[in-house]
Amino acid sequence: MGSVKDLIVIEEPTENKTGIGEFVFSDRYSVFDWGEMPDHIKNKGAAICMMSAYFFEKLEEKGIKTHYIGVVENGEVKKFEEVEEASNKMRIKLLRVLRPSIHEGKYDYSIYKREKGNFLIPLEIIYRNSLPAGSSVFRRLEEGSLRLEDIGLKEMPEPGQKLEKPILDVSTKLEITDRYINWKEAEEIAGLSNDEIEEMKKITMFINDLITKEAKKAGLTNEDGKVEYGFDEHRNMMVVDVIGTPDECRFTFDSTPVSKEIARIYYRNTPWYEEVKEAKKKDRMNWKSYVSSPPPLPSRLAELISMLYQACCNEITGRRFFNVSSLREIVREIKDFID
C-alpha cells in the first residue's frame, strides 16, 4: 500500500461497485517522501487507526460520506465505542486507483476525463490555520512558485504566524514526487467540475473546524493538515484515506510539534537531509538513486515519538488505550532534543 500502512483487498472494486478492504496501520513512518525510515515507532499504527476511526465517525454523524466501515478487533468489525483495545486494522470501502501515465517525462491525466466514478481523486487538499516553522509555504514563497496574494497576505509571513482565515492548498497525489498546483490545474487534471472543487473545499473547511475543536480539548493546536477524496459508483464525493491524526495533521502542544515533524526537525540537521535536497533539485523523478540510506534516530527520541502518538490518541479520543505519560510530560522531554 505504502510506506506507513498496508492494504488487504477483500473484494476488488470495479467500475460500477466499490470494493472492500482493510488498512493495516504499521509502526513504520516516512519523511521527505523517502519511504520507510530505519526506525519503527511502537504502537503508532494502532494509535493512528483509533484516532482516524474517531474522526470518521464524527463526520458520518454530520452526514458526510466517507469510505470508513469500522475498526477490526479479533476479526470482527466494530464501531469506535465498541472496541475494547486499540486495534491497527480498519475496514473500508475500496475505490479504484487510476494512475496517470508518464509520456516524455510528463504526467498524462486524460484517464480522469473518461472515467465517471468509483475512483480515488488524484489530489491532496491541505488546510492551513497557521504557518509554523518548516511549512512548505515559506520555501515556495522564496522560490516564487507561490505568491502572497495566492494565500491572502500582503506582507511576507513570519514562522509561527497565525492566519486570520484558514487557507486551502492543493497538491498532486499519485506522482513520484508530489507537487503543489493551483486550483485551475487541479480541476483540469482530475476531470472535476467547478462545483465539485467547491464541494471539496467546503468539506475540507468543515473537517478543519472539527479537528481544531477536538484537538483543543487535548491542549493541541491544529496548525495544518491534509484530506483526500474519492468518488463512489454514483460519483458522490467521499472522504478517504485517514484523517485527524499526527500523520495527516500538524499538531502542536505549547508550540512544540506533536507529529513526525519531530523526526523531520532532527533529520534537517543531518548530512543526509542535505543529500535529499540536492538530489531533488537534480532529478525530480529519480532523486532517491542519488541519496544514501538515512541514519536511525537516537533510541530515546524514537521512544518519545512513540509515546507522543499514544498520548495523542488517549487525549483526543478521551479513552485511555495506552499506558503512557501525559502529552505535557512527553513534550517537555522532547524539547531537550529539538530546542
* Block residue for cell numbers 482516524: 52
CATH code of the domain in which 311 resides: 3.30.470.20
Cα–Cα separations (whole angstroms), residue 292 to 269, 279, 280, 336: 16, 10, 13, 28
154/190: higher pLDDT: 190
pLDDT band at 285 (very low <50, low <70, confident <90, very high): confident
**Residue span of the structural domain in which 163 resides:** 5-338
Contacts of 185 (CB under 8 A, 6+ apart): none
pLDDT score recorded for residue 268: 92
Looking at the 3D structure of the chain, how many domains does it have? 1
What pTM did the predictor assign?
0.90
Q: Is the pLDDT of residue 3 over 80?
A: no
- What are the pLDDT digits (tens) for 122-135? 999 999 999 877 78
Smallest CA-to-CA distance from 23 within 54, 64, 60, 53 is with: 53
Looking at residues 115-120, what average pLDDT do you find? Answer: 95
- How many residues in the chain? 339
Q: What is the mean pLDDT of residues 206-212?
A: 98
Are 57 and 49 spatial neighbours (Cβ–Cβ below 8 Å)?
no
Predicted local confidence at residue 2, as pLDDT: 64
Q: Could you give the CA distance from residue 332 to residue 339 in angstroms, rounded to a whole number?
A: 11
What confidence score (pLDDT) does residue 176 get? Answer: 82
